[in-house]
């Protein structure tokens, strides 16, 4: 995939970093940078209308006798709203925000810093990265931020965070880059967050983290807080991942196309690292490989330890996932691997996960514990999209209807249906056919997060 000129990576420029040397330098202002970038940061408003069920007491004649109808028996409507921030990344009207800002929303509007408002269409959602791309209807020649090369960012660099905290209006805060390549944050997959102490609060989600050249280095997405407010620890999705998601939206696809690795990795413990002769537990051990996958075809083996991707060190599987996922499709990635005490280099092709069999989506209904759930046949492409383990096989729950039987029981998106009443389920049609039979009880075996769970439900 290729980028438009407006999103092309800027050449790495030599920067002089130095501390203030005089009182005059301390009086310098960030106003020029704020003025340059503020118009490219917008407020994002999402909404959807929910129908609430009638009051169940209205089925009781005694209740109706005293209170009458009074609208109790009529479904009521409730409007659910969300609020966040977004960044214009293309003058034609492309806006990047967090997926959680517009998740489940049916209508989205954006408001500019000058109070103008526009309707927006959701082009692409990517829950794995917690990013979404919007298209402003009828927009043209909008001020867009250039994407910086996040790999050039260093700890201690000055940054500005721009967004709409608590809905009070556009706000600019200043800080430094506190840390890089933060993983284990738990808010998205394949991430390597930029940590900053610039004040980030609820409502800042989807806003911009910019450098001193006014370029976008990240999308603010999460805070670490015990009170719900800023405590000086905020996280931003690096511009490299933003570029990948925007690229996919421009290509007109409904899901982000990223390289498929085809192997399951595990972080090193201190004891294992010491036994391998490493001075610290940094790297990812190969636990299993998918036959015919890029990792296996490239020559990787079980127990290999991946130390770097294209010369950039990766300390754990999450850091590897980010570094590998942001490589462009069509080429190869050079992996530095520790095998038998020696470091070797292994090239791995950068290709998307294949759709090895049709998805055959089925939404179940009727009297079954999975009523309201949508099922898909698993393939490498589906497993990659849903962040499931490499080599996962069978039938997966791709969606659970709100308020459905499946939701009330506790089934979740990503559950893999392994067996019904002891019979292995190989396809979504198998599950649909099985539930057409009347049974006194259903024994459902699923795989969730690598654990096998078996439960029994009445038929």
The CATH number assigned to the domain holding 275 equals 2.30.42.10
Selecting among 82, 90, 126, 130, the annotated active-site residue is 130
Is 441 a member of any domain? yes
379 is in an annotated binding site: no
13-22, 306-315, 333-342, 395-404: least confidently modelled range? 13-22
Is 381 a member of any domain? yes
69 is in an annotated binding site: no
- Residue 80 confidence (pLDDT): 64
- Residue 294 confidence (pLDDT): 95
- Residue 255 confidence (pLDDT): 83
- Residue 363 confidence (pLDDT): 95
Is 327 a member of any domain? yes
The per-residue DSSP string of 364-432 comes to --SSSTTTTEEEEE--HHHHHHTTPPTT--SEEEEEE-TTSHHHHHT--TT-EEEEETTEEP-SHHHHH
- Residue 362 confidence (pLDDT): 94
When pLDDT is cut at 50, 70 and 90, the band that residue 6 belongs to is very low
Nearest-angstrom CA–CA distance, 174 and 199: 7
The residue out of 108, 136, 164 marking a domain boundary is: 136
Same domain, 229 and 285: no
Mean pLDDT value of segment 61-84: 58
Same domain, 240 and 157: yes
- Reported as type and span, the H/E element at residue 372 is none
Is 9 a member of any domain? no
pLDDT single digits (tens) 189-204: 557 889 998 888 888 8
- The token duo for 179 is 């840390």
State residue 43 phi and psi, 5-degree precision: -95, 140
Same domain, 48 and 96: yes
100 is in an annotated binding site: yes
When pLDDT is cut at 50, 70 and 90, the band that residue 129 belongs to is confident
Q: Residue 346 pLDDT more than 90?
A: yes
1-15, 107-121, 349-363: least confidently modelled range? 1-15
Nearest-angstrom CA–CA distance, 161 and 167: 15
Same domain, 326 and 369: no
203 is in an annotated binding site: yes
Contact 138, 105 (CB under 8 A): no
| Residues 6+ away with beta carbon under 8 Å from 231 | 223, 224, 225
Mean pLDDT value of segment 232-255: 88
Q: Residue 91 pLDDT more than 70?
A: yes
Q: Residue 168 pLDDT more than 70?
A: yes
Same domain, 95 and 126: yes
Looking at per-residue pLDDT, the higher value among 297 and 384 belongs to 297
Residue 149 β-bridge partners = none
Mean pLDDT value of segment 222-238: 71
- Reported as type and span, the H/E element at residue 295 is helix 294-298
What CATH number is given to the structural domain containing 226? 2.40.10.10
Residue 449: count of CB within 10 angstroms of its CB: 10
- Residue 21 confidence (pLDDT): 79
Selecting among 40, 82, 90, 100, the annotated active-site residue is 100
Task: Please state, rounded to an integer, the average pLDDT across all residues of the chain.
Answer: 84
The residue out of 104, 136, 168 marking a domain boundary is: 136
Is 185 a member of any domain? yes
pLDDT single digits (tens) 276-324: 888 888 899 999 999 999 999 999 999 999 999 999 999 888 889 889 9
Share of the chain above pLDDT 70, in %: 85
Nearest-angstrom CA–CA distance, 151 and 239: 9
Is 24 a member of any domain? no
- Residue 131 confidence (pLDDT): 92
Is 196 a member of any domain? yes
The per-residue DSSP string of 109-164 comes to EEE-TTS-EEEEEEEEEETTTTEEEEEETT--S---PPBP-GGG--TT-EEEEEE-
204 is in an annotated binding site: yes
Nearest-angstrom CA–CA distance, 146 and 133: 16
pTM of structure: 0.77
When pLDDT is cut at 50, 70 and 90, the band that residue 8 belongs to is very low
Looking at per-residue pLDDT, the higher value among 5 and 8 belongs to 8
Contact 132, 238 (CB under 8 A): no
List the one residue out of 402, 443, 408 whose CA is nearest residue 422. 443
The residue out of 228, 250, 272 marking a domain boundary is: 250
pLDDT single digits (tens) 389-401: 877 778 999 999 9
- Residue 239 confidence (pLDDT): 92
Selecting among 205, 239, 398, 447, the annotated active-site residue is 205
Share of the chain above pLDDT 90, in %: 46
Q: Residue 187 pLDDT more than 60?
A: no
Per the annotation, the verdict on 205 as an active-site residue is: yes
Contact 428, 443 (CB under 8 A): no
Q: How far is CA 1 from CA 106, 249, 255, 417, in A?
A: 29, 11, 14, 35
- Reported as type and span, the H/E element at residue 335 is strand 332-339
Per the annotation, the verdict on 428 as an active-site residue is: no
Same domain, 232 and 304: no
Is 258 a member of any domain? no
Burial of 174 (0-12, 13-18, 19+ CB in 10 A): middle
Nearest-angstrom CA–CA distance, 346 and 25: 49
State residue 430 phi and psi, 5-degree precision: -60, -45
Give the domain range for residue 163: 145-250
State residue 337 phi and psi, 5-degree precision: -125, 140
When pLDDT is cut at 50, 70 and 90, the band that residue 1 belongs to is very low
Same domain, 327 and 406: no
Q: Residue 62 pLDDT more than 60?
A: no
Looking at the 3D structure of the chain, how many domains does it have? 4
Q: Is the dihedral of CA 312, 314, 319, 323 positive or negative?
A: positive
Same domain, 314 and 372: no
Same domain, 97 and 163: no
Per the annotation, the verdict on 100 as an active-site residue is: yes
Pairing of strands 193-196, 234-238: antiparallel
Nearest-angstrom CA–CA distance, 304 and 296: 11
Looking at per-residue pLDDT, the higher value among 156 and 230 belongs to 156
Q: What does the angle CA 256 – CA 258 – CA 263 come to, to the nearest 5 degrees?
A: 130
> Strand, helix or coil at 96?
strand
Mean pLDDT value of segment 174-185: 81
Four-point Cα dihedral 89, 349, 236, 95, nearest 10: 20
Contact 88, 36 (CB under 8 A): no
Residue the block writes with tokens 């198998």: 430
């Amino acid at each position: 995939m290729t980028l438009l000129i407006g999103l092309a990576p800027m050449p790495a420029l030599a920067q002089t970093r130095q501390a203030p040397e005089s009182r005059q330098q301390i009086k310098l202002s960030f106003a020029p940078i704020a003025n340059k970038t503020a118009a490219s940061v917008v407020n994002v408003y999402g909404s959807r209308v929910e129908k609430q069920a009638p009051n169940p007491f209205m089925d009781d004649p005694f209740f109706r006798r005293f209170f009458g109808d009074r609208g109790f028996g009529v479904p009521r409507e409730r409007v659910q709203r969300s609020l966040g921030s977004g960044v214009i990344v293309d003058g034609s009207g492309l806006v990047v925000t967090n997926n959680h800002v517009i998740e489940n929303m049916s209508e989205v509007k954006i408001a500019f810093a000058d109070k103008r408002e526009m309707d927006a269409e959701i082009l692409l959602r990517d829950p794995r990265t917690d990013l979404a791309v919007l298209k402003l209807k009828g927009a043209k020649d909008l001020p867009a931020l250039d994407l910086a090369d996040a790999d050039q960012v260093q700890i201690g660099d000055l940054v500005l965070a721009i967004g709409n905290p608590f809905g009070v209006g556009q706000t600019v805060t200043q800080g430094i880059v506190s840390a890089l390549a933060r993983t284990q944050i738990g808010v998205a997959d394949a991430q390597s967050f930029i940590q900053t102490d610039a004040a980030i609060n609820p409502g800042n989600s989807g806003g911009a983290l910019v450098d001193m050249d006014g370029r976008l280095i990240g999308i603010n997405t999460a805070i670490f807080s015990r009170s719900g407010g800023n405590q000086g620890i905020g996280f931003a999705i690096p511009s490299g991942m933003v570029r990948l998601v925007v690229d996919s939206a421009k290509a007109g696809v409904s899901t982000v196309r990223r390289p498929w690795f085809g192997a399951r990795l595990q972080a090193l413990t201190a004891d294992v690292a010491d036994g391998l002769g490493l001075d610290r537990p940094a790297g990812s051990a190969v636990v299993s490989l998918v036959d015919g996958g890029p990792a296996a075809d490239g020559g990787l083996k079980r127990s290999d330890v991946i130390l770097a991707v294209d010369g950039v060190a990766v300390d754990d599987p999450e850091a590897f996932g980010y570094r590998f996922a942001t490589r462009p499709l069509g080429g190869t990635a050079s992996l530095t691997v520790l095998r038998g005490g020696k470091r070797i280099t292994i090239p791995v092709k950068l290709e998307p996960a294949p759709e090895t069999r049709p998805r055959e989506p089925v939404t179940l209904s009727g009297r079954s514990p999975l009523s309201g759930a949508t099922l898909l046949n698993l393939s490498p492409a589906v497993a990659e999209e849903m962040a499931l383990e490499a080599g996962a096989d069978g039938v997966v729950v791709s969606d659970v209807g709100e308020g459905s039987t499946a939701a009330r029981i506790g089934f979740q998106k990503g559950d893999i249906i392994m067996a019904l009443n002891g019979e292995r389920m190989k396809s979504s049609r198998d599950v649909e056919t099985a539930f057409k039979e009347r049974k006194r009880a259903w024994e459902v075996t699923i795989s969730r997060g690598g654990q096998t769970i078996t439960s029994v439900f009445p038929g």
